């Protein structure tokens, strides 16, 4: 597919924050990465939805998008990055000089999951905090697979488990394994929401929207609204 060069996504400048390392999650320098044209359209749509949701919830407008790469990353290992169809989201900088950083899941789980829920509405492969050590500091997404729930996919099951725990106040193991406990809790919550199986794409998108809305409301009502990560000088 054709590639294009971009300076912004959804009107927000892109900054590369990995060089030097101390820039990570704080600032960076403007770049014009190559990106697959179809992936660019999907990313524009996703980030537009995300930025609007964050601003509408009182977090402020996003002024900079800090990223770890679109193109060839990871020491040359073949991946969707090589096809310019993947993005590593490190941080979002807001108009009030606050930042959300991808390492902030433990102190700010609701904001993290609100962001992740929007990403998952547009992309099938989403890897982030808790998936493995390599993804603790960014949210990776690519368009290798369409959005949808897969009980055998660790990252999707882990998001489901976190949503059930943090947004619906259920107690269950968060291990990325769709076992009897997860099935039981998921079934109970799904019935409360009036949804059939989550393996139907429409139901999964509906679940993501509901869960993400709850997460954003809780983030706004808590200390996360006043501290979306760290203050940047």
pLDDT in tens, 141-177: 999 999 999 999 999 999 999 999 999 999 999 999 9
**Model pTM above 0.95:** no
Separation between Cα atoms, residue 71 and residue 74, nearest integer Å: 10
Residue 26, pLDDT > 70, answer: yes
**Mind listing the pLDDT tens digit for each residue in 100-147?**
999 999 999 999 999 999 999 999 999 999 999 999 999 999 999 999
pLDDT tens figures, 27-75: 999 999 999 999 999 999 999 999 999 999 999 999 999 999 765 454 4
Buried b (16+ CB within 10 A) or exposed e, 111-140: bbbbbbbbbbbbbbbbbbbbbeeebebbbb
The secondary structure of 86-108 as a DSSP string is EEEEEEEEETTSEEEETT-TTT-
Q: With contact defined as beta carbons under 8 Å apart, do 135 and 128 qualify?
A: yes
Rg over CA atoms, the chain: 17
DSSP type of residue 175: S
Q: Write the CB contacts of 2 (distance below 8 Å, at least 6 apart in sequence).
A: 36, 37
Q: How far apart are CA 175 and CA 154, in angstroms?
A: 8
């Amino acid at each position: 597919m054709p590639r294009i060069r971009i300076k912004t996504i959804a009107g927000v400048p892109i900054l590369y924050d990995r060089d030097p390392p101390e820039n990570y999650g704080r600032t960076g320098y403007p770049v014009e990465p190559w990106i697959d044209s179809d992936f660019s359209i999907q990313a524009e749509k996703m980030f537009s939805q995300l930025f609007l949701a964050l601003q509408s919830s009182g977090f402020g407008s996003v002024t900079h998008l800090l990223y770890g790469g679109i193109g060839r990353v990871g020491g040359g290992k073949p991946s969707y990055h090589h096809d310019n169809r993947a993005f590593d989201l490190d941080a979002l900088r807001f108009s009030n000089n606050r930042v959300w950083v991808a390492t902030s899941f433990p102190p700010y789980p609701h904001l993290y999951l609100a962001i992740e829920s929007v990403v998952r509405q547009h992309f099938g492969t989403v890897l982030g905090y808790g998936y493995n050590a390599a993804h603790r500091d960014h949210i990776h997404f690519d368009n290798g697979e369409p959005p949808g729930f897969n009980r055998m996919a660790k990252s999707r099951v882990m998001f489901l488990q976190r949503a059930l725990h943090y947004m619906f106040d259920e107690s269950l193991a968060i291990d990325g394994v769709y076992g009897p406990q997860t099935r039981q809790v998921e079934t109970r919550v799904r019935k409360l929401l009036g949804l059939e199986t989550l393996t139907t794409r429409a139901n999964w998108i509906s679940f993501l929207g509901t869960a993400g809305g709850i997460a954003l409301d809780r983030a706004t009502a808590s200390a996360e609204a006043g501290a979306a990560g760290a203050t940047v000088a």
